[in-house]
Amino acid sequence: MPRTRVLAIDDSALARKILKDGLSAAADVDLLGVCGTLGIALSRGSETPPQVVVLDLFMADEDWSSSLARVRSAWPRARVLALVPDSPEGLAIGQQARAAGALDVIARPLTDAEFNSDPAAFCERLLGKVRAMSLAATNVLARTNILPRSALPAPRRAARAVPRIDVLAIGVSTGGPNALAEVLPALPESFPIPIVIVQHMPPVFTANLAQNLDALSRIDVREAADGVELRPGVALIAPGDRHMTVERKPGGAVQIVTNQDAPENFCRPAVDVLFRSVASCFGSGTLAVVLTGMGQDGLLGAQVIAAAGGTVLAQDEGSSVVWGMPGAIARQGLADDILPLNRVAPDIVRRVTGTRGDLAREA
């Protein structure tokens, strides 16, 4: 069994014990060490380099951005899992750390008493994230073996008649906040169809993400909730730890329904859940976009959308932080096109306007 080399850095004695106990007990983890200071960790630079670094962003006498930059400089191929307290400040810093190069974020209980009350639950979440990181074929700073377009299946049904598009569904994971911050602000205020989004994130993070994207965008961006109706020009982001589906009501209105059914692809919310639901509700009128992310969540849902006559787009490898989710779509020949990130929004607008005539907002 391949073992992932992990180094953990945290100035809390309790956190170090919990990290050490949880990581060292995993058969697929090679724990290189649990260090109390950044200096001690960086002194190991001549030793075996870590593949994953679990980094506490709230260490005393350390600025989180400097700590992250020093870790990335010391081990440019390592994937950084940022550890933050489960508080508004901690979650906000976690969002900023993602933008600065942390591949993922994990929140821990705010007090030592809470942390020590159920360390096994935290370690289970921690190991899930470490294992997901170990499967990533690329990382933020080093991408190799990028496939030429000639090595991929041809775009699906490139010459087919494009159906009228009635909904935009986006699935994204690692690197998603930055990707969404490029795509959504590029959509016009008069964007004539609703948007539903699954971004793999825990609770609270998704609310913060929606607020940040709303401030950047001309369309409205909100965290979804049960009973909210889909509206043209409004993007709804699935709340953390809840699957999101859509349901058509008598009279034609389509509204959000969330649930806490079992995770799919180790994820809740899962892109596959949303995509299947959208395909069932909108059929060939679905435009699905799969952006950067680890794993292959969205693949099965994209198959359902394609079978219903909908359109599927995938982000290309060169512009993805991790080409797992969009790569799975491309390799299966499900993509109507494979696009660099800076071309995703223009292509969406072109396809939507081409099937609707103009960008007049519908009532």
Question: What's the CATH number where 65 sits?
Answer: 3.40.50.2300
In terms of C-beta density within 10 A (0-12 exposed, 13-18 middle, 19 or more buried), how is residue 145 classed? exposed
Structural domains counted in the chain = 2
Is residue 69's pLDDT more than 50? Answer: yes
Same domain for 332 and 305? yes
Spatial contact of 223 and 237, defined as CB atoms under 8 Å apart: yes
- Tell me which residue range forms the domain holding 234: 150-356
Q: How far, in Å, CA of 74 to CA of 7, rounded?
A: 12
pLDDT for res 362: 38
Q: Which of 306, 234, 243, 249 is closest to 281 using CA atoms?
A: 249
* Length of the chain (residues): 363
Does any domain span residue 145?
A: no
Reported as a single tens digit per residue, the pLDDT across 172-210 is 988 888 899 899 999 999 999 999 999 988 777 788 889
The DSSP 8-state label assigned to residue 93 in this structure reads H
Which has more confidence, 356 or 256? 256
Same domain for 191 and 327? yes
Q: How far, in Å, CA of 145 to CA of 127, rounded?
A: 27
Partners of residue 53 on adjacent β-strands: 7, 80
pLDDT for res 150: 56
Same domain for 10 and 89? yes
User: Residue ranges of the alpha helices (H) in 34-117?
Assistant: 38-42, 64-74, 88-100, 112-117
In the predicted model, what is the mean pLDDT of the chain? 87
Please state, for a pLDDT cut of 90, what percent of the chain lies above it.
57
Where among 81, 108, 134 does a domain terminate? 134
Same domain for 214 and 319? yes
> Which tokens belong to 206?
């998704």
Same domain for 327 and 192? yes
> Which tokens belong to 105?
């974020």
Active site residues: 173, 200, 297
Same domain for 259 and 206? yes
Phi and psi (nearest 5°) for 8?
-115, 145
> Which tokens belong to 198?
């699954």
Residue 81 — very low, low, confident or very high, per pLDDT cuts 50/70/90? Answer: very high
Q: In one letter, which amino acid is 273?
A: V
Spatial contact of 197 and 206, defined as CB atoms under 8 Å apart: no
Neighbouring residues of 350: CB distance < 8 A, sequence distance ≥ 6: none
Does any domain span residue 140?
A: no
Q: What is the pTM of this model?
A: 0.70
Partners of residue 81 on adjacent β-strands: 54, 104
Reported as a single tens digit per residue, the pLDDT across 221-246 is 999 999 999 999 999 999 988 999 99
Cis upstream peptide for 263 (omega within 30°)? no
Task: List the CATH number of the domain containing 176.
Answer: 3.40.50.180
Q: How far, in Å, CA of 38 to CA of 118, rounded?
A: 27
Is residue 253's pLDDT more than 90? Answer: yes
- In the chain, the DSSP E strands lie at 4-9, 29-35, 52-56, 79-85, 104-108, 167-172, 195-199, 220-223, 234-237, 243-248, 254-259, 286-290, 311-315, 337-339
pLDDT for res 128: 87
Where among 70, 100, 134 does a domain terminate? 134
Same domain for 275 and 343? yes
Reported as a single tens digit per residue, the pLDDT across 109-154 is 888 888 888 999 999 999 988 887 776 533 333 344 445 555 667 6
Where among 134, 169, 190 does a domain terminate? 134
Spatial contact of 242 and 258, defined as CB atoms under 8 Å apart: yes
Residue 54 — very low, low, confident or very high, per pLDDT cuts 50/70/90? Answer: very high
Same domain for 161 and 301? yes
Q: How far, in Å, CA of 9 to CA of 306, rounded?
A: 45
Same domain for 191 and 104? no
Does any domain span residue 74?
A: yes
Which has more confidence, 263 or 141? 263
Does any domain span residue 321?
A: yes
Averaged over 74-86, what is the pLDDT? 88
Does any domain span residue 58?
A: yes
Same domain for 82 and 159? no
Q: How far, in Å, CA of 20 to CA of 34, rounded?
A: 6
User: Residue ranges of the alpha helices (H) in 167-298?
Assistant: 176-183, 205-216, 271-282
